[in-house]
Amino acid sequence: MFGVNLASTLKMQRSVSSLNLNLSVRARLISAGIQSTRDLLHVSPKQLSSETGLSQQEALEVLQVVSTGLGGASISALELLQREEEEPKSIVTFCSQLDTALAGGLPVGKTTEVCGTPGTGKTQLCLQLAVDVQVPPCFGGVGGQVVFIDTEGTFLLQRVTDMAAAAVQHCALLVEDDEQRVAMTTFSVETILSNIFLVCCHDYLELLAELHLLPDFLSEHPRVRLLVIDSLAFPFRQHFDELSQRTRLLNGLTQQLIAMATNQNLAVVLTNHMTTRLQGSKSQLVPALGESWGHAPTIRLLLQWAGSRRLAAIFKSSGHMDSTIQYQITSEGFRDADQLEQP
């Protein structure tokens, strides 16, 4: 039944502790002296059950993990490229310079961090994206829904309504063919608001619990293309006596988010605060949550004031080179800077 697979895996003694098994099941196996997968060769579920005291069902599951749990299939870079090009790849942002810098918009399937000091427009960008993700495909959009996790209580309904109205108006002006006309009938401020699933979390435990449940929610709502956490920093900047615990939780959370982004084809956007790091006599403004957190997002975007100008810098990305662009925030939302303002 498990013959071929087992024979090849057992050539190398794989420790039972490296299998993704329930802790109590693993403890049973180990206390019965079964420490390597080699000991599971040619064993029937019944025999294993009598040796270890596991139920036959559990024993069967163990044998299945050993035989089938061995790695998913690989996919060639070529197939991935085709997928990247076929699928709705990015969320256009209404800020053409940002779109260009990100090679077409905010990439779906990746995690992006937006950091900046208060008042630089992090939340504005998030709200804007919650609207942008809903632009119908015939207008070059993704036509998706959004899960918006608000941890700071800064989700302003009025602001979203304004941005939604601006987006609807913008698209209405672009209508050229029947398909777009039809799409416009369902692209309204009301539908935009109804496609935003708002979740409020007050501390990191609530946030972790919410993220734990999210994959199920996402599989019930396959149209969700964007997950926003605004902000990630706030719940994680307090109530931690030991920083290493925070780091570990954040590292685990990172992997969860990346898995969701990849498996459910989501864009994940997280906002982060800035903090001051002292190094000798110099102090420097750096993104909060510690050094190792910086690895988590695939793209890092820094919003900052430079005199009277607002600048956004991509300072980490696996897909594009670093660059800096200028933007402004108007009553309609996050937009390109006016030509006049540019130096």
Partner 1 sequence: MVVLREGMCPGLEEGLVRDLRAADIKTVEDLVSSDMEELAQKCSVSYKALFAIRRVLLAQHTAFPVSGADLYEELLSSTAILSTGNPSLDKLLDSGLYTGEITELSGGPGSGKSQVCFGVAVHISFHLKQSVIFIDTTGGFTASRLLQMLQTETRNTEEQMEALQRIHVFRLFDVYALLDCLYSLRGGGLQQASVGGGSVKAVIVDSVSAVISPLLGGKPNEGMSLMIQVAGVLKTMAKDFNVAALVTNYLTRSGGGEVQPGLGVSWSHIPRTRLLLERVDKAAVFSPSSLRSATLIKSSRQRCHIRAEFDLKWWSRSEDTSSSRKRKLEETDS
Partner 2 sequence: MTESGAQLFARLEARRCLKDIEPRLFPEDGGPNHGEVVELYGPEGTGKTELLYHLLCRCVLPVASGGLEVDVVFVDTDYSLDMLRLVSILDNRLSAARSAGSPSAAADEAVLRSCLSRLLVVHCSSSSQLLLTLHFLETTLTSRPGLALLLIDSINAFYWLDRSEGGASFARQEEKLSKCAELLGRLLRDYKITVFATCHAIRRSYSGSSSASSSSSTSSFASTSTTESDKPFLCRPWQRLVTHRLLCSKQEAPKNMAATAGGSKEQKTRQVFTVSTASSSSSSKTKTFRSSSYYVTDGGVEFIGPNTKVS
Q: Which residues bind partner 2 (CB under 8 A)?
A: 12-13, 15-17, 27, 30-31, 35-36, 242-248, 251, 290-293
Contacts of 8 (CB under 8 A, 6+ apart): none
| Torsion-angle region of 240 (φ positive above 0: left; ψ -120 to 50: alpha; else: beta) | beta
Name which of partner 2, partner 1, none residue 92 binds, using a CB cut-off of 5 to 8 Å depending on partner kind.
partner 1
Name which of partner 1, partner 2, none residue 252 binds, using a CB cut-off of 5 to 8 Å depending on partner kind.
partner 1
- Shorter beta-carbon distance to partner 2: residue 280 or 307: 280
Q: Is residue 173 at the binding interface for partner 1, with CB under 8 A as the rule?
A: no
Name which of partner 1, partner 2, none residue 262 binds, using a CB cut-off of 5 to 8 Å depending on partner kind.
partner 1
- Shorter beta-carbon distance to partner 1: residue 189 or 260: 260
Which amino acid appears at position 326 of this protein?
Q
Q: Is residue 188 at the binding interface for partner 1, with CB under 8 A as the rule?
A: no
Instruction: Name which of 90, 23, 91, 99 is nearest 62 in CA terms.
Output: 23
Which amino acid appears at position 99 of this protein?
D
Q: Can you tell me the distance from the alpha carbon of 48 to that of 55, in angstroms, rounded to the nearest whole number?
A: 9
Query: Could you tell me the smallest distance in angstroms from the CB atom of residue 158 to partner 1?
Result: 31
Q: Can you tell me the distance from the alpha carbon of 272 to that of 114, in angstroms, rounded to the nearest whole number?
A: 6
- Shorter beta-carbon distance to partner 1: residue 116 or 235: 116
Name the token pair of 58.
Answer: 């559990």
Q: Is residue 284 at the binding interface for partner 1, with CB under 8 A as the rule?
A: yes
The single-letter DSSP state of residue 337 is P
Name which of partner 2, partner 1, none residue 243 binds, using a CB cut-off of 5 to 8 Å depending on partner kind.
partner 2
- Shorter beta-carbon distance to partner 2: residue 109 or 287: 287
Q: Is residue 31 at the binding interface for partner 1, with CB under 8 A as the rule?
A: no
Beta bridge partners of 108: none
Which x/- pattern over 42-71 shows residues binding partner 1 (rule: CB under 8 A)? xx-------x-----------------xxx
- Shorter beta-carbon distance to partner 2: residue 119 or 252: 252
Q: Which residues of 62-97 are buried (b: 16+ CB within 10 A; e: fewer)?
A: bbebbbeeeeeeeeeeeeeeeeeeeebbbbbbbbeb
